Amino acid sequence: MGHLYYGTSTEPIEIPDSLLAHLKVVITTKLRRSESFTLAWRHEGITQPGRSAIWLQHSIPLRFVFESPEPEQLRASALQEFVNQANSSAGLTVDVDAWMDEAGLVRVS
C-alpha cells in the first residue's frame, strides 16, 4: 500500500501502489501546467467511513511514497480516464475498492 502525503499533514492517505502510480502521473502533469483540480475518494472500513476530497494546487506540498521499490506498469486507458476526469469541473474521483478488485489485490482489514 502506498501513501500520499498532502500539505503539512503527517497523516498519509493510503492508496494501492498501482493506483498511486497512475495518480502521480496525472497529478504531476496537471500541476506542472499550473492546473489545479480536486481529487476525491471514498473511505470505508475505518472508524469514520465517508468520503474525502482535496484541492490539488502547485503550491501545496505533495509526496508520493510507494511500498514497492519497483515501478508499476501503467495502463494508458486508466491514465486517459483520469486525465479526462481531472479536466472536468467535477474533478478526479477514484474508487479504491474497484481498483483493488480489478487488480486482484487482497484487502487487509
Banded model confidence at residue 3, pLDDT cuts 50, 70, 90: very high
66 contact partners, CB below 8 Å, separation of at least 6: 2, 17, 20, 21, 72
Tell me the residue range of the domain where 32 lies: 2-103
- pLDDT higher than 70, residue 105: no
Q: Given the C-alpha cell 494546487, which residue does it identify?
A: 57
108 in any annotated domain? no
User: Does 58 fall in a domain?
Assistant: yes
Total structural domains within the chain: 1
- Asked if residue 109 is part of any domain, the answer here is no
State how far the Cα of 106 lies from the Cα of 101, in Å rounded to an integer: 8
pTM for this model (two decimals): 0.87
- For residue 33, name the pLDDT band (cuts at 50, 70, 90): very high
